[in-house]
Chain A
Amino acid sequence: NAGVTQTPKFQVLKTGQSMTLQCAQDMNHEYMSWYRQDPGMGLRLIHYSVGAGITDQGEVPNGYNVSRSTTEDFPLRLLSAAPSQTSVYFCASSSGTQHNYQETQYFGPGTRLLVL
């Protein structure tokens, strides 16, 4: 199993550009989520999904969209990038089926995004 994979590893964008961060998992996990990690702060939940076709907002959803057309993939879209979105983005998955899951989350390696 590859676990949770993310692409790209690094990305530089100009303000106003759009892009999609890819996330895939091969563990047949129902629950997937996106976090951002900023210096000196804990991970913050952007969006999550409890299964294919179902998505919901987390703590900091503004400026981001997600979709879950398959169990395996959970892309994160930045519609119009802003410098405040400069961060490291982590995708995670778990076998839990609820937002208040208690099963182990597996994290991807992260995508470092710089918005100029």
Chain B
Amino acid sequence: GESVGLHLPTLSVQEGDNSIINCAYSNSASDYFIWYKQESGKGPQFIIDIRSNMDKRQGQRVTVLLNKTVKHLSLQIAATQPGDSAVYFCAEIQGDMRFGAGTRLTVKP
């Protein structure tokens, strides 16, 4: 999960395994959510989004799950590859856009 502080949560997975990255959001009225990927020294890059009227959305190798009951968002990456190593963070939108601090994913070859 994500937290505010100097140290990001980390997740280390073996190449080929599936990864699950979690995010707890704060505003129960948020109606749109985005997952971003940020590689070292680069700007954030859009991965996938989901609206509050959905509980699951799939992209290429990625799936986002939304549980509004507990205000929880997750990003699942199938068959994780070394190129997936990055910081992943979620954003919630309800009027304003708020970003989580992120989780650092490391993929071991």
- Interface residues of chain A, those whose CB is within 8 Å of chain B, are 4, 39-45, 59, 90, 92, 99-100, 102, 104-110
Contacts and interface: CB of A to CB of B under 8 A. Distances in A.
B79 interface: no
A78 B6 CA distance: 25
Interface residues of B, number: 25
A45 B97 contact: yes
Given A99-B96, A107-B45, A42 B89 contact: yes
Interface of B: 4-8, 32, 41-46, 49, 89, 91, 93-102
B99 A42 contact: yes
A104 B97 CA distance: 12
A97 to B, nearest CB: 15
Contacts, number: 51
Contacts of A42: 4, 89, 91, 98-102
A4 B43 contact: yes
A59 B43 CA distance: 20
A41 B97 CA distance: 14
A40 B6 contact: yes
A40 B7 contact: yes
A42 B43 CA distance: 13
Contacts of A108: 43
Contacts of B44: 43, 90, 107
A3 to B, nearest CB: 9
Contacts of A104: 46, 49
Residue of A41, A44, A99, A108 with highest tally of chain B CB at under 10 A:
A41
A26 to B, nearest CB: 16
A74 B94 CA distance: 24
Given A42-B98, A45-B97, A102-B32, A90 B4 contact: no
A34 to B, nearest CB: 12
A25 to B, nearest CB: 12
Contacts of B100: 42
Nearest to B43: A107
